[in-house]
Amino acid sequence: MEFDTTLPGQITTLADATETAIGKLTGSRSGGKAMTAEQIAARDALVAVLAPIQTAARRKFTGTQTAWRQAYFIGGHLAHGTLAFAGTAAKAIRDRLVAGPNNTPPVDVLPGISPAQITALSNTITGYAGDVTAADAQQNQNLAAHNAIVANIAKLAALRHQVQLAAEQAYPWRTPGVAATRQAFLLPPDRPLPG
């Protein structure tokens, strides 16, 4: 039977690399779930600065305008979320309250919110930017690793299918005494390989 003898080695190498990548990703994801004391302090500082701004947004957006509250992450559980989530919310809220390019007016002006409070929000974001950036960078690394694992699994499936097709050709299901061999290649013992 004609067969590419490099396939088993390719499969083993790719499977080992994928298994190692899965282990590393699992470790980095589990480590990212438990925030450090510094990350908790950073999140709490952001939440504390955002609290009066969110209250002002609740005052302004009432009745039919309550959907606008989502722009201020009201009900978004910032106090229980990750630092990255709090950082994203803080930046989005700040950007709604500061003047835009060419001195365009801010998107919103909230009752009782002074320029000093907006400056305090900006300063808090800047003060914890390193912590937020580190959390974002880890999430980006995890996403890239996950995407590489998914791609490797697809490659492994294609390589496995090539081996199975060769085994299907070498051990047709109607041949007596090949059921155990077919099962070793994950082929159905009593019918052809589907697809």
pLDDT number for residue 131:
58
Residue with tokens 């450090």: 36
Last residue of a domain, one of 79, 98, 127: 127
pLDDT number for residue 184:
93
Give the model confidence (pLDDT) of 89-129 as tens digits. Answer: 888 888 888 887 888 888 888 788 888 888 888 888 888 76
pLDDT number for residue 34:
59
Last residue of a domain, one of 127, 153, 168: 127
Q: Quick one: average pLDDT of 162-185?
A: 92
Domain extent at residue 157 = 7-28+143-184
0.75 exceeded by pTM = no
pLDDT number for residue 110:
78
Q: Give a yes or no: residue 133 inside a domain.
A: no
Q: Give a yes or no: residue 2 inside a domain.
A: no
Statement to judge: residues 65 and 118 lie in one domain:
yes
Give me the sign of the Cα torsion angle 75, 132, 53, 70: negative
pLDDT number for residue 191:
92
Higher pLDDT, 171 or 39: 171
Give me the sign of the Cα torsion angle 51, 53, 56, 62: negative
CA distances from 56 to 143, 159, 163, 178, 190 (A): 36, 59, 65, 75, 70
